Amino acid sequence: REGQYLWQRRVGGDNGIYKLEARTGDFVGSITGGPWSIGDDHRGLAHNPNNDTFYVREWEEGVVCQIKGDSWNSPGEVIDQWDLDVRIADLAYHPIADVLAVVTCDRPDMVYLIDAESGSIIAEFLHPSAGDYEWGYVGAGCDFDVDGNLWLTFCAYGENILYLVETGLGAIGGWLGWNPRSGEIPPGGSMDITVTADAAKLNPGKYASNVVLVTNDPDNQSISIPVIADITKLPTITEVTVSPSMGEPPLEVSFHAAFECSDVPVASYWWDFGDGNSLEAVDAVNTYDLPGMYTATFTVTDMLGGKADTSFLIDVRWLPHATVDPERVDVTLPSNATVTKTVTIGNVEGNSPLMFSAAAKRGERPLIAMPERIGVSTSPDAVTAEGLYAPLESEIVERLTSAVKSSGMGDVILSWRVPLPIARPWGIGFDEFNETLWISDPGSMADHVVMPDGTHMGMIFDTPWATAFPADMAYDRNRSLMWQVNVQGDNGIYALDPETGDVVMKIASGPWTAKSQRGLAYRDDDDTFYIGGWVQDIIYRIKGPSWDMPGEVLEQWAFPVGIAGLAWHPSGVLWVSSNADPDMIYGIDAASRTVVAQFPHPYGGFYSGAGLALNPDGNLWVVSPKNHTVYLVNNDMPISRGISIHPVEGIVPEGLTLDVTVTIDAAEINNPGNDVRSYLEFLTNDPLQPALYVDVDTHIEEEPSFAEVNVSEPIGEPPLSVVFDAVVAPGAGPIADVWWDFGDGSPVVHGLHVEHVYTEVGTYEASIHAMDDSDVEVSQSIMITVKWLPLLEVHPEKIQEVVSYGTPGQQDTLYVTNSGKGSMEFGISVVGDGLSSAISLSHTSGLLLPGNGDSVLITFGSSELPPGIYEGTLVVTSDDPRRPKIEIPVMLKVDLPPAIMLMDPKDGDRWTGEQKIRWTASDPDDDVDTLAIVLYWSRDGGEWHEIAKGLANTGSYMWNTASVGLGGDAFRVRIVATDPAGQSAEIISEPFTIINDAPTAAFSFSPSPVTVTSIVEFVDESTDDGEIVAWHWEFGDG
């Protein structure tokens, strides 16, 4: 193992050693080449972290090579080698003892401990499997554990056993050590070995280990000496207060401390005040007579020498004393007026010069309340700051909460519960390039990528580099990297690739890494970071990667609130989220380190403050681990317009005052008819009055307004006559005058209702003006366009088409015409989800000169379009102001054909005379009653003859078969059914017979016999198998 990586030997192939990420097993890199990789029988590998070298077995049996690691200039190059005449299975290196362990796969299997510097064997013993497998050849892998003992495996088939063997080499970076580690004792002599137990590396409790002497005494080759350490708990300082920590000499300071000694009785405790005075007490008072910076330290020790201490800085110096007068300014003025006021900054009672800077800000002056620290951090990897601070008074919390106004500072813009699989959200960062949020989860030790609406993107990055947990984040827009705090371990900050989550670089040097931190913010203007946490409650500003010494502290200051998250606003404000009772969010002016804003955490609880990030619009992303929620909070970054201050900074000598001129411009404030609340902020070097405020209440009188402004024709052709009309509402004073300016150079006309004629083509800005008795003028403009206009016409204005299902698209034409006097641009769009997929246009836009037209080819349907009715609209738009849009209703039917079945005649039927033809016709998308039926007959497959057409779909028709003439046995009937769209279906019967024999002629007459003068009556008595349709008489007399 090398840090967070595992190296593994490859058997075969390039016989190299491969670097793997320990948490994931991902391939990271490799070292190949060199004589040690030749051949095909390679097993052993060990890493020396003292110089980043590896021990490998060379292909020649029994040769051990020491090669360069990947931090060297030529990784894999052989540095040293020595012969070891055994069959090597694996290697392991002890970095404290400088001993190389060698496991053999031989008969018998052995374990050798070799001095890595000389290559000589200092101890050897049988592999622990030798008792069960005395024939050998089962030795395999080995590695040292943290106690310096040796893990061994063996490769017998079907066995799964690990052995942990005591070596006596001592822990690797552990608590037990001895000196000397080797030596030579003459006969009859002795040697003292000093055994050291380092309790600083252990937690309280009982520990057991052994010091093992390996000798050349054949009767005592190994002597094990047990070492038992009972580690007691150090004294714990549970509470410390110092008040005041700053002031003028002589400064009387009260000190208080509390502690616990649970395992060992206390021996002593005392205050060292840093001025040469000390006192053995938990409560003390000390007076500092001279200016200076003093370090006061409380120390407690137990009977075993265990010690705990904590320190505070006491700043004793001559101070300015800042005052401001007045503390409130009230003004009322018209919307066009300016007023000047004077505010006096005083240092009358000060003993050193007062420096100040001034700014005007919109809104209420901030209410600032800092919690009192009552505890000392004893758990550097804790996820809350509980126990470190006294709760704020409920009255102050209520005032802070009531100060949060809708759409103001502290108001929640957006919130959502973190998506699964995030279990406990903590750190947060906004990736400005990808517009995504990163949220860390201490439970799974991973970072999750989430959309600003709370949707998980499925991207999860493990954080194997994190020790206790990955905390707050800050986006580096200079390098497009996400930086994140490692809690515990090296306490550094890690730069992560937003696409992969891989570590690109890190900064882990500087005094700020001595304790675990939580919050992180990045300044892209100078490539620096702010970092801090509740363990120290110090905010550090450190150098970024482009500086000469990344991580070096540029400045630092105490901010005792339970620092959890940080975010930098480019206006110069550092935002801090606290983990306290209750949780708060503070805005700090970075130049003066003064709190300029404060509001409660949106969760509204305690000890749930965590990460903080800046949204691109300047608002804050805030995390609450307790209710698993992310908030976007309005921070209002209050900067007021319309109020100017002169001078904006200065120095007031001790004993004097300075007048500051405040100018209020109602026009620039631009909020007539309303009360505007602002405040003046004076930041000073007075530590007792670091910020002074003056409330500024400005009432701007209401100005005239226009209730209605109307024009008859805002666009038209010359000469264009326009009627203007308006209704004016007075403001604080009565209306003195109203006039219209037509924008064409003509004289203004006074009055509310006027008429004006524009004779020339052009675009004119007409405006109405109203003025009250305070000369407050308001105006409103209307654009008048005079030009030759086009006239949009289309044909047809309604489209209905039917196409047969499965056939290629049917085409029609839409005609777009410009009948006006000006050129016209037009566009065509298809509205309707169904219709847009059912039709296509040859083109969708064009330019038409006056009197011209354009033909747009419309293709309806396609062979793949499903059957059904598609409805929508063709919207034709143009720059014709009188008819800017024409909507053409469109209905397209993709029609399915009808179906028909023939019941009679049937195959082989014998018909004669009148017979009923019977059928059943249906249609999937039309009413069956709308189908039209046509009947035909044919003889012997010849020509089709019409029986009847235009028949209703009644299902039957009575047909006189005699109409076919001569009968026969090869007749067929054909039936055609047609739907309203013209789709048709037909069916032809099987052959059938029509019997139609020739008639038998016969008649009778009377009287008989006939005389010349007789009138004879003839009666037809002919017969037939059908209906006789024609006959004639011949009487024989010509």
Assigned CATH topology for domain 705-786: Immunoglobulin-like (2.60.40)
| CB 84 within 8 Å of CB 114 | yes
Is residue 57 left, alpha or beta, with left meaning phi > 0 and alpha meaning psi from -120 to 50? beta
> Looking at residue 485, what is its pLDDT?
95
* Residue whose C-alpha is closest to residue 805's, from 891, 869, 901: 869
> Looking at residue 58, what is its pLDDT?
60
Assigned CATH topology for domain 5-210: Hemopexin (2.110.10)
CA dist 624 to 416, 418, 426, 701, Å? 11, 10, 7, 44
SS3 call for 833: helix
Residues of the chain above pLDDT 90, percent: 54
**In the 3-class helix/strand/coil scheme, how is 409-465 assigned residue by residue?**
CCCEEEEEECCCCCCCCCCEEEECCCCEEEEEECCCCEEEEECCCCCEEEEEEECCC
Question: How many residues in the chain?
Answer: 1038
The two tokens of residue 810 are: 């049917």
β partners of residue 677: 697
Q: Using one digit for the tens of pLDDT, what is the confidence trace for 589-648? A: 888 888 888 899 999 888 889 999 999 878 899 999 988 999 999 877 644 568 999 998
Residue 582: cis peptide before it, omega within 30 degrees of 0: yes
Q: Which CATH code fits 792-895?
A: 2.60.40.10
Residues of the chain with pLDDT under 50: 59, 638-639
Residue 371: cis peptide before it, omega within 30 degrees of 0: no
Q: Which CATH code fits 394-633?
A: 2.120.10.30
Q: Sign of the CA dihedral 560, 561, 564, 565?
A: negative
Q: How far apart are the first and last CA of the chain?
A: 138
> Looking at residue 1007, what is its pLDDT?
83
> Looking at residue 384, what is its pLDDT?
65
- Distance (Å, whole) CA 429 – CA 495: 12
Domains of the chain: which residue ranges? Answer: 5-210, 236-316, 323-363+640-700, 394-633, 705-786, 792-895, 899-1038
- Distance (Å, whole) CA 333 – CA 330: 10
> Looking at residue 212, what is its pLDDT?
74
Q: Do domains 236-316 and 899-1038 have the same CATH topology?
A: yes
Q: Which CATH architecture has domain 899-1038?
A: Sandwich (2.60)
- Distance (Å, whole) CA 582 – CA 401: 11
CB neighbours of residue 186 within 10 Å: 7
> Looking at residue 377, what is its pLDDT?
57
- Distance (Å, whole) CA 630 – CA 623: 5
The set of residues, in sequence order, having a beta carbon less than 8 Å from that of 207 and lying 6+ positions away, is 175, 197, 228, 229, 230, 231
Q: Using one digit for the tens of pLDDT, what is the confidence trace for 660-712? A: 999 999 988 888 888 888 889 898 999 888 889 999 999 999 999 999 999 99
- Based on its alpha-carbon atoms, the radius of gyration of the chain, rounded to whole angstroms, reads 51
- Distance (Å, whole) CA 659 – CA 664: 16
| CB 890 within 8 Å of CB 835 | yes
pTM: 0.46
Q: Which CATH class is domain 323-363+640-700?
A: mainly beta
* Residue whose C-alpha is closest to residue 247's, from 283, 194, 286: 286
Q: Which CATH class is domain 236-316?
A: mainly beta
